[in-house]
A and B are shown apart, each in its own frame.
Chain A
Amino acid sequence: MNTLEQIRLVWKPLAFMLCLMPAALVVTDAMQTAGGLGANPIEEVLDRFGNWGLRFTMIALAVTPLRQLTGWNWLARFRRMLGLFAFFYVLMHFLTWLVLDQGLLWPAIVEDIGERPFITIGFIALLLLTAMAVTSTNGMRRRLGRRWQQLHYSAYAVGALGVWHYWWQVKADIREPLIYAAILAVLLGYRVWQRRQRFGFSEA
């Protein structure tokens, strides 16, 4: 087996299973009779999916910087999958909110998306992720050409909107959203710094 085959047949399926673990844990905890999801299971599920959506957004964004810094080019093979998992967890977060939290009460849902800024920005992030997920196939990538890259830079916007969405619904303890904001700042800072370096180089 060559390296590419090894990645495709061994490491990718393994990574896929690993990425599914948080969702599997929600299912097994929900099946526990002793209340594995606590006194407010809907909030717990909502929080877990939301948190993993944000984490996978950060992890997917970290792939390129990490690849460049370490020279581990095989990392690029995992980027699409990690991004799609970010979409999956954010979608589950949204569906939990829609079905379990709001009980598919459409007037309240429309009002919340339109009038609660933190829900509005969360919804925009979901729309951007959906656009990226739909265009994530090789065919779409070829068809969109340069615009594909432009569209997929919005992953950074998704990260920012996600952190903002989280920050805005916290009552007083902003420690966790602050950690996500710091990670995002480092990732974005790296890309800006890198671009400057490159420009500086080409001008010389």
Chain B
Amino acid sequence: MLILKPADIRPSEITSEANYLNRRQFIKAGAMAGGAALSAPASSAIVPAERGAKLDGIGASRFSTDEPANSFEDITTYNNYYEFGTGKGDPAKNAQGFRTRPWTIAVDGHAEKTGPIDFDDFVKPFDLEERIYRMRCVEAWSMVIPWVGISLADVVKHFRPTSKAKYVAFETLLDPVQMPGQRRRVLDWPYREGLTIAEATHPLSILAVGLYGEVLPNQNGAPVRLVVPWKYGFKGIKGIVRMSFVESMPRTSWNMAAPHEYGFYANVNPEVDHPRWSQARERRIGAGVFSSKQPTRMFNGYAEQVAHLYTGLDLRKHY
């Protein structure tokens, strides 16, 4: 007997193309209005090397949530960055001396513009925007984080990928001297992550370079990290030194470590449990000891914007 499973995404959650285009126009109009208001020439992101330095010329984004953001303290003392240790407090302890300059990012693969590029030159052509996003960890806790970043779509387009580029792959710095966590083979270093081109060019995807209007703290992935708010946090690769335009699906670190538990897509999905624990609910950090967990939302609450990327894809199989 054939048992029909309910669709993973309700049709109402899928944005029609017309609506989607509408949204794009709305964003464009907003961006243009914002650009006109600025006297300085647009598109010249400057990210100082000094830790904690203020970032200038940050634009607002209509993609930001109005949910209250977590404290700077919570965001910078409780996170996973296995290169600096597997405890949640380890990154804050062990990343303080990490050197983020000079920093070179190797751009390679199927693109017209490739080659090593200095971090300051890498970010310069783009606009800094504040993006207050929900962050849902695969371990069933979540935060609201005011990132400052540049649009990954702009970055991808800047390097002019060819038609062969179907995925964008990223790699973290490999440096066991500076990154004590890499001295043990907890994961197959360097950390690797990847997105489809459609995901990478989605307006929600950013490369974050700041937090709370300041230079991104080392423990959160300085100088540059990926933020894809509708996916589990581990997709947000930190300390990026390589960006590759590739034809086939790249290997990704957690998928390599435990393929039956962590997929390539890793979209937040309350209906597909981790084999060992439920993903239906999440603990919002900072909500207080006596507050209950809150229900996890499809695509971490970004279904309206991203569900169309996965039409026809069995999200139970492609977790």
Contacts and interface: CB of A to CB of B under 8 A. Distances in A.
B289 A39 contact: no
B68 interface: no
Interface stretch (B81-89, B200-208, B215-223): B81-89
A105 interface: yes
B277 A169 contact: yes
A100 B283 CA distance: 11
A100 B276 contact: no
B281 A38 contact: no
Chain B, interface SS category: loop
A183 to B, nearest CB: 20
A168 B285 CA distance: 24
B198 interface: no
A172 interface: yes
Interface string A80-121: 000000000000000000001111010010011000111000
B19 interface: no
A75 to B, nearest CB: 34
Nearest to B75: A39
Contact of B292 (A38, A103, A172, A175): A103
B25 interface: no
A27 interface: no
Interface residues of A, number: 25
Given A39-B88, A40-B283, A103-B292, A108 B74 contact: no
Contact of B257 (A118, A168, A172): A172
Interface string B269-281: 0000000111011
Nearest to A172: B186
Contact of B141 (A40, A116, A169, A173): A40
Contact of A103 (B276, B286, B293): B293
B78 interface: yes
Contacts of B82: 172-173
Given A38-B77, A39-B285, A39-B286, A116 B278 contact: yes
Interface in A31-55: 35, 38-43
Interface centre among A30, A40, A101, A171 (most CB of B within 10 A): A171
A42 B281 contact: no
Contacts of A30: 289
A91 B94 CA distance: 34
Contacts of B184: 173, 175
Q: Which of A105, A117, A172 has the most CB of B within 10 A?
A: A172
A114 B246 CA distance: 44
B29 interface: no
A interface SS class? helix
B191 to A, nearest CB: 12
B66 interface: no
B139 A171 contact: yes
Nearest to A111: B278
Nearest to B261: A171
Contacts of A102: 293
Contact of A172 (B73, B187, B286): B187
Contacts of B139: 171
A83 to B, nearest CB: 29
B82 to A, nearest CB: 7
A112 B274 CA distance: 12
B289 to A, nearest CB: 5
B205 to A, nearest CB: 24
Contacts of B187: 172
A55 to B, nearest CB: 18
A149 B279 CA distance: 42
Contacts of B276: 116-118, 168-169
A108 B285 contact: no
Contacts of B78: 38-40
A42 B187 CA distance: 27
B295 to A, nearest CB: 11
Interface string A172-184: 1101000000000
A112 B278 contact: yes
Contacts of A35: 73
A111 B273 CA distance: 13
Interface in B179-197: 184, 186-187
Given A102-B293, A171-B86, A171-B139, 17 more contacts: A38-B78, A39-B70, A39-B74, A39-B77, A39-B78, A40-B88, A40-B283, A42-B289, A103-B293, A108-B278, A117-B276, A168-B276, A172-B86, A172-B257, A173-B82, A173-B86, A173-B184
Interface of A: 30, 35, 38-43, 100-103, 105, 108, 111-112, 116-118, 168-169, 171-173, 175
9 residue pairs, one from A and one from B, having the closest CB atoms = A39-B78, A103-B292, A173-B86, A39-B74, A172-B186, A173-B186, A39-B285, A41-B289, A172-B257
7 contacts: A35-B73, A108-B280, A116-B277, A117-B276, A168-B276, A172-B86, A172-B257
